[in-house]
Structure formats: structure tokens, C-alpha cells
């Protein structure tokens, strides 16, 4: 059983189902409204735990009702929440997500407490990183905190995995040199490398650029097309499973969590791990919500 620590965001998601996305200045009717636990970090932690890995979390919530609710839900998943700070003067993070009839979404994110923890909080929770196989981070929390977590991981031979979402064009070189594996989608890969990514050929060019920046293994996710990987001289687009998507929220997070649960530390079974992630995310997109849509291990088996 793999052991993983997630350094990342925790949000309360407010979801609104609509027939189509709204245009600027337009008002339309929604057809369903609901809230759910979310945040890319928390989603990935839940996916990792449901996939069967021992999971720990470093992050922050506000001293409020949503924060208490999010902590309770993570505890229910048997996730170690001892590294989650409760911030007194910041609200728990929030995300607002419209989802159209094609299952596509857009996300507006208010960081709140997610941006109120940093290197000190990571350092004092170093024991949650040092004894693990993997540490996983995204870009919904301070980059300085992620760099600190990756420095701790590297000092103890723990593999570092970066999901650079939301995409940023000026990622610190220091962070990329500390990253063993990077997992952007095609848009994020273009944002980081400046290379338009729309097929295997362009994905390979972007991967080459990321290797030059110091990253050992590259996975670029292509949504319904699957996931491209480039590692140790091998590259391939591993196809996704074909299903009818109703909500793509948390699909990428599910992919990462389930892939990590299967992955060997030397990445020697990378293609097999990607297939496992693809299978799990194909279940996620057939359900609504972020964490409520993430499947359990027995469903994937």
C-alpha cells in the first residue's frame, strides 16, 4: 500500500447545473443547486484514500462551519488531518462551479484559508512527508509552501508530484527542479512551456521542454482522449475509457489519486498506473459533484 501526503487546498464547492454556460452580461436559469466538498488538494486526498493508500494532508481551513464540515468529511475517509491548520481570521476556501448539459464546467475559486498557511506550517509537519512514498501538490496554495514540502521530500527520497493547476506561466525554476513528476492538462502544459498542445506530437515537444526544466516524468492529460506520458525514453497516449460524461469536476483529481495508489516509486509501472487512473476518472465523470463523484476501490476493481 502506497503512502502519500497531499499539500493542497480545501474548499466548499457551490455547484449550479445549467443547460449552457452563461454569456457576459446574460442571466439564465439554473436547474439544480447543491454544495459538495472540494478543493483540488482535498479531492486528490480523497481519491488517494479511496484507492487504498494511506493518506495524510497538509493545508488549512477557516474557523467556521464549512471548515469544520470539510475536516469531518476528510476524517471519515480515514485521512490523517493532523497537518491541517485552523486559521482564525480567514474563511474556508470556496469554489463556484457551473456545469452544463455536456458535463463541462468552469470554476471560480476564492482561496481564503488556503493562502493563509506557508513554509512554517509545512516545516512543523515535516514528519508527515518524510516517511511517505509520494508528496503531491497543486497550485491552489502558496508556491513557497509547496517548494518547502518538496525540499523536505527530496531530503528523504520521497517522490514529488506536481499538478500545476490552475496553470501559471511563471512557475519558479526552483520548484520544477524539485519536481519528479508533473501532471498538467493540455492547457496547463501550454501555459508552462509556451508550446500549443493538441496532439501526441506537440505533447512530446512540451514534455521535452519540461524535461529540460528538470522534471523526470511528464504526464499530460487530454480529458476524454486519455493521458500522454513521456518517461525514460518512452512516450504514449493512453486512451481514456469511453463513457457519457455528466460532470467533469474532480476527474483529473481522481486520475491522480488512483494513479498514485498504483504507482511504483521508480515509476516503472507508469502505463499501468495511468490505465488505473483513467478507469477511475471514467467513473467520476458519470456522477455529479467533486468528492461525492470519486469512486471507491471496490467499484474500480
- 182 DSSP β-pair partners: 162, 218
Q: How is the chain split into domains, by residue range?
A: 3-294
Contact between residue 141 and residue 7 where contact means Cβ atoms under 8 Å apart: yes
pTM, full prediction? 0.92
Q: Which residues are annotated as a binding site for substrate?
A: 11-13, 39-43, 140, 253
Q: Which residues are annotated as a binding site?
A: 11-13, 39-43, 140, 185, 221-226, 247, 249, 252-253, 278, 284, 287, 289, 293
List the catalytic residue out of 72, 80, 253, 266: 253
Let me know: does 165 contact 184? Beta carbons within 8 Å: yes
CATH architecture of 3-294: 3-Layer(aba) Sandwich (3.40)
Q: What is the pLDDT of residue 231?
A: 98
Residue 100 a catalytic site member: no
For 204-261, what is each residue's pLDDT tens digit?
Answer: 999 999 999 999 999 999 988 999 999 999 999 999 899 998 888 789 999 999 999 9
Q: What is the 3-state secondary structure (H, E, C) of 129-175?
A: HHCCCEEEECCCCCHHHHHHHHHHHHHCCCEEEECCCCCCCCCCHHH
Over residues 138-175, the pLDDT tens digits come to 999 999 999 999 999 999 999 999 999 988 888 999 99
Amino acid at each position: 500500500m502506497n503512502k502519500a501526503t497531499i499539500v493542497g487546498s480545501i474548499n466548499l464547492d457551490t455547484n449550479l447545473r445549467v443547460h449552457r454556460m452563461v454569456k457576459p452580461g446574460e442571466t439564465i436559469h439554473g436547474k439544480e443547486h447543491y454544495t459538495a466538498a472540494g478543493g483540488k488538494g482535498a479531492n486528490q486526498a480523497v481519491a488517494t484514500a479511496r484507492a487504498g493508500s494511506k493518506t495524510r494532508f497538509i493545508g488549512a481551513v477557516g474557523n467556521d462551519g464549512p471548515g469544520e464540515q470539510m475536516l469531518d468529511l476528510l476524517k471519515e475517509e480515514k485521512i490523517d488531518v493532523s497537518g491541517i491548520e485552523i486559521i482564525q481570521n480567514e474563511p474556508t476556501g470556496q469554489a463556484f462551479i457551473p456545469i452544463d448539459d455536456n458535463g463541462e464546467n468552469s470554476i471560480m475559486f476564492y482561496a481564503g484559508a488556503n493562502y493563509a498557511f506557508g513554509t512554517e506550517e509545512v516545516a512543523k509537519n515535516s514528519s508527515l512527508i518524510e516517511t511517505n512514498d509520494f508528496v503531491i501538490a497543486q497550485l491552489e496554495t502558496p508556491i513557497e509552501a509547496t517548494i518547502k514540502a518538496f525540499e523536505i521530500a527530496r531530503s528523504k527520497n520521497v517522490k514529488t508530484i506536481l499538478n500545476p493547476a490552475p496553470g501559471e506561466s511563471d512557475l519558479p525554476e526552483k520548484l520544477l527542479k524539485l519536481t519528479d513528476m508533473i501532471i498538467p492538462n493540455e492547457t496547463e502544459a501550454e501555459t508552462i512551456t509556451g508550446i500549443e498542445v493538441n496532439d501526441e506530437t506537440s505533447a512530446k515537444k512540451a514534455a521535452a521542454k519540461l524535461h529540460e526544466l528538470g522534471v523526470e516524468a511528464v504526464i499530460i492529460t487530454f480529458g476524454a482522449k486519455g493521458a500522454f506520458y513521456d518517461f525514460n525514453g518512452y512516450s504514449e497516449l493512453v486512451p481514456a475509457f469511453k463513457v457519457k460524461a455528466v460532470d467533469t469536476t474532480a476527474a483529473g483529481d481522481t486520475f491522480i489519486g488512483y494513479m498514485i495508489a498504483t504507482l511504483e516509486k521508480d515509476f516503472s509501472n507508469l502505463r499501468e498506473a495511468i490505465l488505473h487512473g483513467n478507469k477511475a476518472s471514467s467513473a467520476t465523470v458519470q456522477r455529479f459533484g467533486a468528492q461525492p463523484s470519486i469512486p471507491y476501490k471496490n467499484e474500480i476493481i
